Structure 1
Amino acid sequence: MRIVVALGGNALLHRGERPDAAVQEANVDRVTTALAALAHEHEIVITHGNGPQLGLLAAESAADPALSVPYPLDLLGAQTQGMIGSLLARSLHDALPGRRIAVLVTHTLVRADDPAFDHPAKFVGQVYPPDVASSLAAGRGWHFAAHGTGRRRVVPSPEPERVCETDIVHELLTGGTLVICAGGGGVPVTADRDTGALTGVEAVVDKDLTAALLAEDLEADFLLILTDVPCVYSGYRTPGQRPLLGATPGELRGGGFTGGPMGPKAEAAARFVERTGGPAAIGALDAAYEIVHGRSGTLVRPDLPVE
């Protein structure tokens, strides 16, 4: 079975942890333990989040006096793909002796006229005091939104159209290689209408939506979205909270999951199931093997059987 695994941003940095290299190196062993059993039995493509790492690099770049202009988000995203991919590849290499493993820095095509470019909404980086945020907005043209008692930078999050290196990923999979790619949703790029030349853009593509698109284009049998909760909950954090162990795409969309961290995961699972007829699931990292075998998580299936 071919499985695309979407690791949540908490896989290498848990909430509240310092973003030190040693912390991430220790956490990656937990990821390897969770995925090694699946990799022994199935073709695996691993995608991953990069939110904490991207935010750290963006803050460092913005504060670096040696730079006249901070590094753009597309290049910072490429850096995180290399760093996180290297950590995963080294750990998996030790856990899966003899297995071919490749890390690809991949690019995700977006439309230059995507409405998201006019409505930045994706939080990136640190929280600033309101006066500092106002100064940065005036000096650098950044957009900010309220975040707690301060303000935080927001950037566009356009829809993914295609992972540019999908054909390469397919070839590697066919040759028995475990592939790590599309980190942080991929490096966002637009293509020139006449020449096809790629240009990086100041944006962040949602990692789960990119994973769903990649899974569809690779004709994957299963989309596995891993996070830090055991399943999707109906009425999350309310007195009526209950686990949702199975759902159709329509039920996911009607369940009030449009906002917050679960919204993109629910939408990604729904899209994959609707477009392919195959199953998707959302659940905890440590239960990855159990989720694929139907013993944990929230399983998402089509509204109607696919003929």
Structure 2
Amino acid sequence: MKKIVLALGGNALGSTPDEQKNAVKITAKSIVDLVSEGNKVIISHGNGPQVGMINLAMDVASKSSANTPTMPFPECGAMSQGYIGYHLQNSIENELLKRNMTEDVVSLVTQVLVDSNDPAFENPTKPIGSFYTKEEAQEMSKNGVVFKEDAGRGYRRVVPSPKPVDIIEKNSVKLLYDNGTIVVAAGGGGIPVIREDSEYRGVPAVIDKDFTTAKLAELVDADVLIILTAVEKVAIKFGKPDEEWLSEMTVEEAEKYLEAKEFAEGSMKPKIEAALGFVKSGKNRTALITSLEKALDGLEGKTGTLIK
């Protein structure tokens, strides 16, 4: 039995609610495969496309004849946690029913503490929402929206991405986790909050879900952090004639590859950095990077990239 924390990418969830419902059925099978082997599982997920969609929809609605109130960005993050969590929770429950398994599943709206002095607030980098052409991005930038090119896939809006310091609801997550509940938590990297005097206050930002998931794995004393992405393994010299897919990396090797800029910003780089942070946070901790459908195979050492 292993204590596992899974990081599921937001782009893997589809761009519409119907697409997401279909996508999470596949996700649920992979998750329940892990649970059926006796493992304890927490799932965290991205929300970049979804929170961008919600934020844009609320902004458009606020300028329409409906006169809908403007919705602050932290509340948009909470909305995305709620509906993505519902879809994941529902699909996992349905998969458990098919297999006559009795584990409980719960989604928690989760706040994550960040430092108000984090330099990320002065340099927005986190992509959210849909992809746009260069021309579309330039036009929308006239309204003060910041765009950056995203790993060769087009242009996306970017917002500040501070590092997670602590997870406010960590004790509740750990209580559920230790008692065998499948927990969906810290969705979208968590709702970023800062502490002012004796209060937590939400701030307009998106924390990278891989860093938050690594912090969550550290706080609940997990054995393995699994970061699920679009590829089965991590590559160096990606896209070049001498491309090399890696089955294993030591911490030292991964740090060397990071220094050599082998991994793309906003794509594989934060996954490697998050994995390293977790592996270095305690003894006998490992991280696995692989594709969703290969999660169990990766855990069994058949595929994926293991960092140890």
What is residue 20 of structure 2 aligned with on the other side? 24
What one-letter code is carried by the residue in structure 2 that aligns with 1:171?
A: L
- What do you get for the CA RMSD once the two structures are aligned? 1.9
**2:289 aligned partner:** 282
CA contact (8 A) 1:212 1:269 kept: yes
Equivalent residue, structure 2, for 1:271 = 277
The answer on whether the counterparts of 1:73 and 1:204 sit within 8 Å (CA) in structure 2 is no
3-state secondary structure, aligned to 2:280: helix
Unaligned runs of 5+ in 1: 14-18, 302-307
Deviation at 1:131, TM superposition (A): 3.4
Cα–Cα, structure 1 residues 206 and 260, in superposed 2: closer, same or farther, change >3 Å? closer
Q: Which residue identity is paired with 1:143?
A: V
CA distance in 2, matches of 1:2, 1:294: 16
Partners in 2 of 1:88 and 1:104 — Cα distance?
Answer: 12
Aligned length: 289
Candidates 162, 172, 182, aligned match of 2:176: 172
The match for 2:249 is 247
Alignment of 1:72-221 (within 5 A): 72-96=72-96, 97-126=101-130, 127=132, 128-134=136-142, 136-137=143-144, 142-145=145-148, 152-192=156-196, 194-195=197-198, 197-221=199-223
Deviations 1:79-125 (A, max 9, x none): 11111111111111122232111110100100011011111122223
Which residue, out of 226, 236, 243, partners 1:234?
236
Q: 1:271 to 1:146 in 2, by over 3 A?
A: closer
Q: Could you tell me which runs of 5 or more consecutive residues in structure 2 were left unpaired when the two chains were aligned.
A: none
Letter in 2 for 1:5: L
Please say if residues 249 and 271 of structure 1, whose CA atoms lie closer than 8 Å, have aligned partners that are also in contact: no
Note if 1:58 corresponds to 2:64: no
User: Identity, % of aligned pairs?
Assistant: 38
Deviation at 1:68, TM superposition (A): 7.1
Q: Is the 8 A contact 2:58 2:68 kept in 1?
A: no
**Over residues 159-196 of structure 1, what are the superposed CA-to-partner deviations in whole Å (9 max), with x where a residue is unaligned?**
1001111100011112221100111100000011x31x
1:297 aligns with 2:297: no
Determine if contact 1:130/1:151 at 8 Å carries over to the other structure. no
One-letter amino acid of the counterpart of residue 276, structure 1: G
- Residues 150 and 89 (structure 1), Cα distance of their counterparts in 2 relative to 1, 3 Å cut: closer
Q: Does 1:225 align with 2:222?
A: no
Per-residue CA distance 1:201-227 (angstroms, 9 max, x = gap):
010000000000010011001111111
CA–CA distance in 2 between the matches of 1:177 and 1:107?
20
Q: CA separation of 1:159/1:63 partners in 2, compared to 1, >3 Å: closer, same or farther?
A: same
Of 71-80 and 155-164, more deviation after overlay is shown by 71-80
- TM-score between both structures, scaled by the size of structure 1: 0.89
The separation in 2 between residues aligned to 1:131 and 1:274, in whole angstroms, is 44
**Given residue 10 of structure 1, which amino acid in structure 2 is its aligned partner?**
N
Q: Is the 8 A contact 1:249 1:269 kept in 2?
A: no
Supply the distance in 2 between the matched residues of 1:290 and 1:150 (Cα, whole angstroms).
Answer: 32
Question: Could you tell me how far 1:149 is from its partner in structure 2?
Answer: 12
Q: Is the 8 A contact 1:160 1:205 kept in 2?
A: yes
